[in-house]
Structure 1
Amino acid sequence: MKLKLRFFFVVALSIHVILIHSQVTGTKVKWQPLTISFTGPSTSETATSPNPFLDYRLNVTFTSPSDKKYVVPGYFAGDGNGGGTGNVWRVNFLPDETGTWSYVASFRSGTNVAISLNAGDGTADATIDGASGNFTIASPSGGKGFFAKGKLYTDNYYLRFQDGSYFLKAGADSPESFFGFDGFDNTPNASHHFDNHVSDWKNGDPDWNSGKGKPIIGALNYLSSKGVNSIYFLTMNIGGDAKDTYPYVSIVSYSGSTSNDNLHFDISKLAQWETVMNHAQEKGIMLHVVLGEGESANKNELDGANLGTERKLYYREMVARFGYFPVLQWNICEEYDIDLNIGETEAKKWAQYIKDIDPYGHPLAVHNTDVVKTAYKTFLSNTSPFN
């Protein structure tokens, strides 16, 4: 009987190890991105009970050779190829040291657990929780554009790359609805076609759906050829000016509505956004990501202009999906003080939540309409998340 019990224990343990499957992909070179894909619960981007975006939380802790730790949020990736149904869960990471790194996954389930900052909230889900491994990162080599320089950070009053060089921003602020592009999935109100830039697309550049991506990729090539090193663009303008950009699966009213489902994300669309952002980084173009607009309807679209479930989940998905890009700036709101003035206190709450979940410490900004000498006075205090 004892032999049988021991045999059963060994078999059960072996099966458990097999089920927690993870795969590391990427060049495994310093300052170049890698992705870890896990096999987890099979679900859909439209599932509600549980909601894969809100009721599961994947965080992966990466430990560097010098023992520095990064807690990086992960995301539901559908089938892993842009499809909205599947069992692939991912985390993106930008290693900044050479040598052997280790990682361990925390995967929790529970109501609204994704937006909680408490590591112990929810219940451990054994399909991924505890998955661990290591990988070795080589010295910088062959990186394109910003992937050869490392993360952009604030060095006192200046923006600087990890390779020691400085960055002077000189970019385009228009069109702010750059992602209101008709080549993206689920963008029926698209304002932009960029057809004039198809000829700027080059062999070897990324694309999707047999040419759908060529115009916007070509547009980035054109901007880069003119020395532009930054683009300013919105990722959610429901209720704003153009009403053509959003990361969600389904919208009832593009003018803004409490009936809109702001808790389910369009996986194929976000994969296409990522392709465009990655190309921008390879072309030496900074991502100035503007998370919201000045119009009242846009501010109210998420939690009535407060830091609630919808806004937190939106911020988390943006950080999880795109936070690994080395040269990126989060702008919490365009014209925070116009129309519906959210005020400095609320603006700081929004920024603080992003700061709490962004392991890379990307620069944070807010856009104002007031005169400069009074607008940023309290935003730049020592305790401000913007500092």
Structure 2
Amino acid sequence: MDKVEKWGVFEWSGKGYGDGNPFVDYDIEATFKSENEEKTVKGFYDGEGIYRVRFMPSYEGKYEFFVRGSFSEEKYEGSFEVTAPSGNNRGPVRVCDKYHFCYADKTPYYSIGTTCYVWELRSDELIEKTFHSLENAGFNKIRFCIFPKHYDYNLGEPRSYPYVGTPMDSSKLTKDNFWDYTDKTEGNDWDFFRFNPEHFSHIEKCVEKLAKMGIEADIIVFHPYDRWGFSRMSRKQDDLYIRYLISRLAAYRNIWWSMANEYDIFPHKNIEDWDHIGNLFKEEDPYDHLRSIHNCIDFFDHKKSWITHCSIQRQDLYRTAEYTDEWREEFQKPVVLDEIAYEGNIQHGWGNITGEEMVRRFCEGIFRGGYPGHGETFLNENDILWWSHGGELHGESWKRVKFLLGIMKETPGTGLKRDKSDRRCWDCLKAVPEDDALYEKTGYQIYYYSFMCPSFREFFMEDDAYYKAEIIDTWNMTIEDAGIHSGRFKIELPGRQFMAIRLQKIHGPMVLGDGVSGPF
């Protein structure tokens, strides 16, 4: 009997009709049953007369399945065994405690992602460099597109296209006239009802490898930076594409759906279109993966029911992360800061902040209960910028990702929030566990001083409680033991930027000594 892990991918494939246009002329679906669940999922045509159905089981034990549809006169059935998950397999990520995330096995998930728009559409060599960089950096989410992208430093052709057909002749494309192409379709010859399975199969292999690495694949379904006409498809064509995407990718546990990158600068879609697209994913994705939509200038209404979390690009020249707690209150959902500007040196203001500023924005977002995202845009003689192509990382902020993620993982409960009730902390940022009961029990609190440079800080705690103090240098990635304290006490600091102090209650027997300070 075939075996697959819980939250793994079981795939059935078989021969069927290949005449006409199998992408629209025939259908296929399968029902999967166990003693704990029953789910019907749609399959897809994969070319060469082959049809496939993919399924992600949510329980261990024996499953039976039944395949049917107009794709074949035959009826198929079978069974397989679902075993325990292993390695990085904790199941799909879900929203938990309103503002945070957990894997399906209830393990908290703390998102620190990066953006590489079309990394998977580059050469095999560059893709392997990207995987290596991701592993070294410690990112646990990556945003990328299904469609190729046309923008600065992105004037070449992708390795493949999602549809059968031919693109416009780009030989006349230059850096001086490239914007002339973005709202035209002349020269493209696509059959928007006939997919190129090779394009999607390659993306699936990338998603599979990301899953093994424990990295979430945040799929950007549509984007406006387009000279091929993919952003101008009709609703009927959009719907076919979305259903095909769901049938191919939804069974992978690490999938997130982002309806659009910068939805508000699409010239051919309106709010009604985006609501239709978002609701289609909500209704037809059998696994209810996370769903978002990303802005350029104007925020979407993240309160809408099909949106599971906020995906935010900065609106202010300087501030974004500083608004995290306000957006939490407004939208009552997790706040993912997918674009807070990029570390780099290109001409655009969104792509030339320092590594120190990127890390500062990360910390502002983290300690306010949000989840920041990374990007890097350093000029390269071959125009290979991480933000779009992946490859190698050249900046400084990525080196701090594992350290910051480690701090997040030490949070009691599922995540942090800003404590605005402590009026003595008006001049710094105080973070505490989201769960008030856990805060009361653990006394866990982090004081972040951002670009300020205090040489010491005084604290006023209970006389009958003892706190372990640590000094965190978020830039130099160090955590220094600062002793055990009670009542009113002082912590010495080095008088430089990006420092934080972490306090935690100590429970159980204690031996008082030179390392303990009390009221003075």
- State the number of aligned residues: 287
Q: Distance in 2 between matches of 1:65 and 1:225?
A: 42
Compared CA separation, residues 341 and 51, structure 1 to 2 (3 A): closer
Alpha-carbon distance in structure 2 between the residues aligned to 1:237 and 1:28: 33
Provide the rounded CA distance (Å) in 2 between the counterparts of 1:32 and 1:299: 31
- The aligned counterpart of 1:30 is 6
CA change 1:179–1:360 in 2 (3 A) is same
Please give the secondary structure, in 2, of the residue aligned with 1:315.
helix
Query: What does the per-residue CA deviation read over 1:15-70, in whole Å, with 9 as the maximum and x for residues that have no partner?
Result: xxxxxxxxx86x422122221112322x2xxxxx621111111111212321x222
Show the counterpart of 2:21. 51
Scaled by the length of structure 1, what TM-score is found? 0.67
Q: Please state if 1:344 is matched with 2:344.
A: no
**How far apart are the structure 2 equivalents of 1:366 and 1:289?**
11
Q: Cα gap change, 1:100/1:323 in structure 2, threshold over 3 Å: closer, same or farther?
A: same
> Aligned partners of 1:152, 1:259: CA distance in 2, in Å?
39
- Is residue 237–residue 292 contact of structure 1 (8 Å, CA) maintained in 2? no
Alpha-carbon distance in 2 for matches of 1:72, 1:240: 37
SS of the residue corresponding to residue 294 of structure 1 reads: coil
Out of 74, 83, 92, the residue aligned to residue 151 of structure 1 is 92
Q: Which of 241, 247, 260 is equivalent to 1:314?
A: 241
Does the alignment pair 1:162 with 2:104? yes
Which amino acid is 1:126 matched to?
A: E
Deviates most, 343-352 or 290-299: 290-299
Letter in 2 for 1:107: G
- Higher normalized strand content (fraction of residues): 2
Distance of 1:239 and 1:222 partners within structure 2: 24
Post-superposition Cα deviations, 1:268-294, rounded to whole Å, max 9, x if no partner, equal 332222111111111111101001113
What code does the residue aligned with 1:365 have?
S
Q: Which residue among 133, 141, 162 is the counterpart of 2:78?
A: 133
Aligned equivalents of 1:98 and 1:299: distance in 2?
A: 40
> What residue number does 2:142 align with?
231
Deviation of the 1:98 alpha carbon: 0.9
Give the Cα separation in 1 of the matches to 2:4 and 2:95.
Answer: 26
Q: CA deviation at 1:341?
A: 6.7
1:137-179 Cα deviation digits (max 9, x unpaired): 1223xx343xx20121222332211111111111211x31223
Using the alignment, how far apart are the partners of 2:193 and 2:4 within structure 1? 33
Q: Aligned partners of 1:361, 1:61: CA distance in 2, in Å?
A: 17
Instruction: Work out which of the residue numbers 191, 199, 219 in structure 2 matches 1:289.
Output: 219
1:262 aligns with 2:192: yes
User: Residue 348 of structure 1 aligns to a residue in which SS?
Assistant: helix
Separation of aligned partners in 2, 1:299 and 1:385:
23
CA contact (8 A) 2:164 2:190 kept: no
Which residue is equivalent to 2:121?
Answer: 180
- For residues 281 and 34 of structure 1, the distance between their equivalents in structure 2, rounded to whole angstroms, comes to 15
User: What amino acid does structure 2 have at the position aligned with 1:171?
Assistant: G
Residue correspondence of structure 1 range 78-89 to structure 2 within 5 A: 78=47, 85=48, 87-89=49-51
1:380 aligns with 2:327: no
Higher relative contact order (CA 8 A, sep 6+): 1
Structure 1 residues 167 and 341: CA distance shift in structure 2, 3 A: farther
| Matched-pair contact (CA < 8 Å) for 1:233–1:290 | yes
Q: Distance in 1 between matches of 2:41 and 2:146?
A: 21
* Kept after mapping to 2: 8 A contact 1:296/1:339: no
Q: 2:66 aligns with which of 86, 100, 104?
A: 104
Distance (Å, rounded) in 2 between the aligned partners of 1:339 and 1:348: 14
Contact 2:34/2:63, CA 8 A, preserved across alignment: yes
Cα RMSD after superposing both structures: 2.5
**What is the identity, as a one-letter code, of the residue corresponding to 1:53?**
F
- Residue number in structure 1 paired with 2:54: 92
Aligned-residue offset at 1:333: 1.2
Structure 1 counterpart of 2:212, one-letter code: E
Please give the TM-score of this superposition, normalised by the length of structure 2: 0.51
Distance 1:64 1:157 in 2: 33
Q: Aligned AA for 2:120?
A: F
- Secondary structure of the 2:193 match is coil
Q: Secondary structure at the match of 2:50?
A: strand
Give the drift of 1:369. Answer: 2.1
The aligned residue for residue 127 of structure 2 is 216
- Measure the CA separation in 1 of the matches of 2:119 and 2:226: 21
Q: Does structure 2 retain, via aligned residues, the 8 Å contact 1:252–1:259?
A: yes
Q: 1:296 to 1:77 in 2, by over 3 A?
A: closer
What is residue 331 of structure 2 aligned with on the other side?
none
CA distance in 2, matches of 1:153, 1:370: 27
- Where structure 2 has 5 or more consecutive residues not aligned to the other structure, the ranges are 171-180, 309-520
Q: Structure 1 residue 75: deviation in Å?
A: 1.3
Contact 2:92 2:103 survives alignment (8 Å): yes
Cα–Cα, structure 1 residues 359 and 219, in superposed 2: closer, same or farther, change >3 Å? same
Equivalent of 1:274, from 197, 200, 204?
204
Change (3 A) 1:341 1:259: closer
The question of whether the paired residues in 2 share the 8 Å contact of 1:336 and 1:366 is answered with: yes
SS of structure 1 residue aligned to 2:289: coil
Aligned mate of 1:302, from 222, 230, 233: 233
Q: How far apart are residue 295 of structure 1 and its match?
A: 4.4
Q: Which residue of 56, 61, 64 corresponds with 2:31? A: 61
The answer to whether the 8 Å contact 1:380/1:386 transfers is yes
Structure 1 stretches of 5 or more lacking a match? 1-23, 44-48, 79-84, 110-124, 184-212
